[in-house]
């Protein structure tokens, strides 16, 4: 079977969480090293049962084949929840990501869950997986708090809803379309280059469904700069890919790096079928104040941070569109249009 070509993985460290309590100091050192240098790492021996991950992927594979008119009963609503198809435009490309996604949150989801008539048990299975991933996230975020010299519960209180309904954390189920028999222009991607807006992202992949690439080199939160070297991250079902988001980069006074990443289309000889992944974004709660220990940046709430990030993306989109106007090499071949027909929107992460 053909597989995605994978570079040397030394650039993206793998950190084992085995014997977590006994090895806590060592794990904190490894997490801080990876996150100050690269902003990406993978976790193994993380404690989430393989069966639960497989069930979440099965849920995703049951949802996306539903007719669009069924999925569109819960459309992306401007609050980072709901279903979209070909609607995410990156400032880095100006073209639609070749995917569809379903975004789920803990709070404010009234009327946004697929009904039991359309997909029985969807909510219960999704919320169970979300809770499990959030629990693991808390362990990792407490390590970052200790490594940064902040109170241990800084990011737990900052992201986990205490019962007031202000959580912004999001699970995104992702289905990248098959590209078999299709050709695209040079500027088309399964997911264009971007940095995440959150505190910490945990990404689940399936064996052999690769294409994720990272590019370290960003020094200041909020800019669009990065280095020149893109490194493949191997798709393995037994590892969780983690990356620092812009909120944590700001919260750490730029010590921890929120790194640009993308998902490329398959190269010649690589699998061209669909790609499934699941990303859990630990977002700062709406009213929580983000400010680092050195106060490099003024205080900002989680809600205002997201609003400003979206505004920067809109400005980046405008600049990219102006620069690209009149360049025919940005246009797709005719057989790519089906996957691109959607409103031009920019959404979180």
How would residue 94 be classed by pLDDT, with cut points 50, 70 and 90?
A: confident
CA pair distance 228, 192, nearest whole angstrom:
15
37-to-220, 283, 291, 338 alpha-carbon distances in Å: 13, 22, 21, 40
Mean pLDDT of the 98-113 span: 94
The predicted-structure confidence for 176-235, as pLDDT tens digits, reads as follows: 999 888 777 777 878 888 899 999 999 999 999 999 999 887 776 665 556 678 899 999
CA pair distance 17, 27, nearest whole angstrom:
7
DSSP H helical ranges for 68-203: 68-71, 122-148, 154-159
Please list, in sequence order, all residues whose beta carbon lies within 8 angstroms of the beta carbon of residue 140, skipping any fewer than 6 positions away: 31, 43, 200, 242
> Which pLDDT score, from 0 to 100, does residue 320 have?
53
Backbone angles phi, psi at 223, to 5 degrees: -90, 175
Q: Domain 14-304: which topology?
A: Jelly Rolls (2.60.120)
The structure tokens listed for 335 are: 């057989």
User: What are the extents of the domains in the chain?
Assistant: 14-304
Please check the confidence at residue 345 and state whether its pLDDT lies above 50: no
String of DSSP letters for 224-271: ----S--EE----TTSEEEEE-HHHHHHTTT-S---EEEEPPPPTTS-
Say what the alpha-carbon torsion angle 226, 232, 238, 239 is, to the nearest 10 degrees: -20
Please check the confidence at residue 326 and state whether its pLDDT lies above 90: no
How many CA atoms lie within 13 Å of 137's alpha carbon, on the beta-carbon side? 32
pTM, two decimal places? 0.87
C-alpha closest to that of 239 among 270, 206, 196, 190? 206
The structure tokens listed for 21 are: 């309590």
């Amino acid at each position: 079977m053909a597989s995605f070509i994978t570079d040397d993985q030394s650039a993206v460290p793998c950190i084992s969480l085995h014997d977590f309590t006994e090895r806590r100091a060592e794990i904190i050192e490894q997490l801080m090293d990876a996150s100050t240098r690269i902003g990406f790492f993978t976790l193994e021996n993380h404690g989430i049962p393989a069966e639960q991950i497989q069930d979440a992927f099965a849920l995703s594979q049951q949802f996306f084949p539903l007719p669009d008119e069924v999925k569109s009963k819960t459309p992306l609503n401007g609050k980072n929840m709901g279903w979209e198809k070909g609607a995410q435009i990156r400032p880095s490309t100006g073209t639609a990501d070749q995917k569809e996604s379903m975004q789920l949150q803990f709070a404010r989801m009234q009327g946004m869950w697929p009904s039991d008539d359309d997909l029985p048990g969807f909510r219960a299975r999704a919320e169970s997986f979300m809770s499990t991933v959030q629990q693991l996230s808390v362990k990792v975020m407490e390590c970052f708090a200790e490594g940064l010299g902040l109170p241990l519960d800084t990011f737990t209180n900052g992201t986990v809803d205490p019962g007031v309904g202000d959580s912004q954390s999001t699970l995104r189920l992702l289905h990248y379309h098959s590209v078999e028999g299709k050709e695209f222009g040079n500027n088309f991607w399964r997911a264009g280059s971007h940095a995440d807006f959150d505190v910490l992202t945990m990404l689940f992949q399936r064996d052999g469904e690769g294409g994720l690439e990272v590019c370290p080199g960003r020094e200041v939160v909020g800019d669009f700069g990065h280095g020149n070297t893109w490194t493949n991250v191997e798709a393995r079902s037994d590892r969780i890919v983690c990356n620092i988001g812009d909120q944590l980069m700001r919260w750490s006074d730029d010590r921890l790096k929120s790194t640009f990443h993308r998902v490329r289309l398959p190269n010649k000889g690589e699998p061209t079928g669909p790609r499934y992944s699941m990303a859990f974004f630990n977002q700062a709660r709406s009213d929580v104040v983000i400010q680092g220990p050195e106060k490099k940046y003024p205080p900002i709430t989680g809600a205002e941070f997201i609003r400003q990030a979206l505004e920067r993306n809109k400005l980046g989109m405008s600049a990219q569109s102006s620069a690209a106007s009149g360049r025919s090499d940005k246009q797709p071949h005719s057989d790519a249009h089906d996957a691109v027909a959607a409103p031009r929107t920019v959404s979180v992460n």
